[in-house]
Amino acid sequence: MGAVMNGTRPITAGRLISVESASALIRSGLFLSIAGDEALLRRLPAGHWIGGTIPYFMGQEGGETTRDRIFVTELPVIGGAPKIRFYDITNLDRVCVDGPENGYSLIVIPAFSEAHSFFARNAPGFEDMFLKPLLGWISGIHLSDLGSASPMVVNGETMEFDSERAVVVHVPLPEQHFARIDIINLFSQGDGDRIRFPQKGFSATDCTINGIKRNFAEYVSSTKADTRLPLVADYSGAMINVSIKGVDTSTGVVDFYAPVFDDIEYRFAAPVPDYVSAFNNQLPKSTESVGFACNCILNYLYSELEGKKVPTMLGPMTFGEIAYQLLNQTLVYLTIE
């Protein structure tokens, strides 16, 4: 595999750059994925781009929180012209149906929106899901702005900002190329208790622990579980995380960043003592063909990645990652082969 090409020109890997530099790339006619603070995104010109709000990144100088620069990734476009459109909860289940027969679709969904909830609960059952490559991320805000600002997505062709709909770019590829989506998940199931939930959702009260019914908030509190570690489910060898957002023992409710499902067994993850070393050990041998990557804000916070360099797989640190379905505490990346 060589470097990703747009025609005969190699694609520049995603980088944190100034608004002025990003504006020049947009005006050149490139198709771009852009992440940054809302105020900066509103300064950009119209063009072939989709975007989302976030101020956390793994940039070329390392982990960084910034409201002064934006992360720009040139999308691999080597076939026909991509199509950009919004989806709401009335048609989001057709996002893969609308995708190209050969190519990929990149989606950005605003956190805490109806589209976020609908996708999280229902995406595995969408028509053509897992048959056509779908990846993306959940836009967010600076954590100090929680309660005072809303995550946004942007259709750069129309310069519409939206806090409820998802924005998608469908990118066709020629027959001799194909898109592949992979994840790097540093977490695996620990050897602790087996946990099941009676219904799917972003929160839980009741659960069973090793087959015995309990209140989950009381269980987490009484066992002093490390809630920085996600719950991990084993999907036929693929480890899928669900991160804990909060535990309220007064109401008995535990909230999650992604939904738990009622037909899956979970365990708390085994600890990861050195995130950067573990991450580097899981990198593919060649990352030249990586066309897009995103990682999780919780990895950024809990592993204290600010200022730490991860030499490849640069991108936004998000409120959720999408590789077909919604993921947590996972790196997602696209390769064109």
pLDDT in the model for residue 12:
52
pTM, 2 dp: 0.91
Give the CA dihedral 127, 133, 134, 137, nearest 10 degrees: 160
Burial class (CB in 10 A: 0-12, 13-18, 19+), 319: buried
Model confidence at 13, in pLDDT bands (50, 70, 90)?
low
**For the chain, which residues make up each domain, given as ranges?**
5-183+277-336, 195-268
pLDDT in the model for residue 100:
96
Model confidence at 287, in pLDDT bands (50, 70, 90)?
low
Of 124, 139, 172, 183, which is closest to residue 334 (Cα–Cα)? 183
Alpha helix segments (H runs only) across the chain? 19-27, 38-41, 114-122, 216-222, 275-282, 297-302
Q: Which residues of 119-135 are buried (b: 16+ CB within 10 A; e: fewer)?
A: bbbbbeebeebeebbbb
- The tokens describing 92, both together, are 């989001």
pLDDT at 313 over 90: no
Summarised one tens digit per residue, pLDDT across range 134-190 is 999 999 999 999 889 999 999 999 999 999 999 999 999 999 999 999 999 999 999
**CA 143 to CA 231: how far, in whole Å?**
22
Summarised one tens digit per residue, pLDDT across range 208-255 is 999 999 999 999 999 999 999 999 999 888 899 999 999 999 999 999
